[in-house]
Structure 1
């Protein structure tokens, strides 16, 4: 048992653990983290928006004179476009703040 303690005494575990664990997010500042989140949401929205638009169009087209279903399709389309605009504005604000703060 004493031999193991002597063998382990020369190892600096703090240095070993610090070098083994990398930053999984890759962001070194809060601004960079916000930018990465905004970019992720923007990319996700670009892939999801066309699917939602097609779904809203199908609701609208297949309403067969049912005004409730046609209205549901219009609402889906409206809210999905509003959501996309919100994501675009958030991405723009983050870029604007980064430039204004010199980050």
Structure 2
């Protein structure tokens, strides 16, 4: 019986605390702008991420191309698979090299 009374009392106190509004105090310092970085910094960070991601994926395809080609054992389908992975790696490296140029175009469009 005592536990039930304690539970009801705790529930009543919690209900009162939730039901009674408390004052909210505004920050007198003025509006707060929540911008972490400027647009050129964000675009520069994006450029670094895109180049790193493309280079990592291209390196993965380059390793896969080498594995496919080395384990082909004379199988023309496996050799073609290796050649295809090598082409994909070269495209990925090309995009990684062109990422700064593409981001400069984006900077020109947004006016940064």
TM range (shorter): 0.5 to 0.7
Superposition map of 1:74-93 within 5 A: 74-93=83-102
Shift, 1:81, TM fit: 1.1
* Counterpart for residue 38 of structure 2: 28
* Counterpart for residue 55 of structure 1: 64
Question: Are the equivalent residues in 2 in contact too, given 1:59–1:72 (CA < 8 A)?
Answer: yes
TM-score normalised per structure 2: 0.58
* Counterpart for residue 40 of structure 1: 49
Asked if 1:12 is matched to 2:26, the reply is yes
Shift, 1:61, TM fit: 1.2
Question: Are the equivalent residues in 1 in contact too, given 2:55–2:92 (CA < 8 A)?
Answer: no
How many residue pairs are counted as aligned between the two chains? 93
Which secondary structure state, in structure 2, belongs to the residue aligned with residue 65 of structure 1?
coil
Pairwise CA RMSD:
3.7
Moved over 4 A (4+): 13-17, 96-99
* Counterpart for residue 73 of structure 2: 64
TM-score normalised per structure 1: 0.62
